[in-house]
Amino acid sequence: MTKTAGGRKRCSTSLKHIRIMTTRELAVGESIRKEKTMPLIHKRRLWWDPVPEATGYVVYVYKDGKPIDRANFSWENTPGIISRPVIGKTELIIPDEWAEFPTKPGTYHIAITAKDDLGNQSDPYLLSGLFKFLAPSSPSKGGIESLPLSHPKSGLPAHSPISQGQEIIRGGLEEVRTNKEVRDAYLGGE
């Protein structure tokens, strides 16, 4: 590394120093570096229309066999429900903005209420949706292999005894077909 006039670091490695490892080199004992990465998980956005007199909102979630019943909705007192207050916006990005949101795959029921400055809450706006924030497992094994060259038409290896024999036979048959002298020698004269 070298420093430029502005104090920034600059890499002085040129392309001639980069080496591409072959499968054979890897098999001999060089290790493959594995980096820890995050799986690709599709996030979900919960959103709702703003309510002019609301100072905030409360979003409730639970997983059960049936949707939330408005008549029996008891806000925080509903068994199995978790909630999250939301102030200053009308959306939540799940799971980024709600770490407690359940990660077990399934259909979840959502209730969104508007809350005023005295703590009064509206009837819930109800939603249901399928959530799954777990990626499948990674493949456990894999690799890169070199395959032998092959003829595009026959699929046989390019330098195998079989392909060489086929080429000799084809050449001989062509010569018998096109050269009268050779044809007479192999098939007998007329």
Domain ranges in the chain are 44-131, 148-190
Beta strands in 34-103 (DSSP E): 44-47, 56-62, 82-86, 91-94
Tell the CATH topology of 44-131.
Immunoglobulin-like (2.60.40)
Is the pLDDT assigned to residue 113 strictly greater than 90?
yes
Note the pLDDT of residue 22: 43
Q: What confidence score (pLDDT) does residue 183 get?
A: 74
More confident residue, 76 or 93: 93
Residue 153 is encoded by which pair of tokens? Answer: 């038409």
Return d(Cα 158, Cα 162) in angstroms, integer.
Answer: 9
Q: Which residue from 129, 113, 114 is spatially nearest to 67, judged by alpha carbons?
A: 129
- Give per-residue pLDDT as tens, 122-179: 988 999 898 888 888 889 999 998 887 776 776 666 666 666 777 788 887 887 788 8
Q: Is the pLDDT of residue 98 over 50?
A: yes
Retrieve residue 89's tokens: 């916006």
* pLDDT number for residue 10: 46
E strands of the chain, at which residues?
2-3, 9-10, 44-47, 56-62, 82-86, 91-94, 106-115, 125-131
- C-alpha distances out from residue 169 to 160, 164, 165, 175, Å: 14, 9, 6, 10
Residue pLDDT, tens place only, 18-49 = 444 444 444 444 455 555 666 788 889 999 99
**pLDDT, tens only, 50-74:** 999 999 999 999 876 776 667 777 7
What pairs with residue 108 in β-bridges?
129
Q: What pLDDT shows up at residue 146?
A: 85
The confidence band for 9, taking pLDDT boundaries of 50, 70 and 90, is very low
Q: Looking at residues 74-86, what average pLDDT do you find?
A: 80
| Cα–Cα distance measured from residue 57 to residue 47, given in angstroms and rounded to the nearest whole number | 11
Band of residue 81 on the pLDDT scale cut at 50, 70, 90? confident
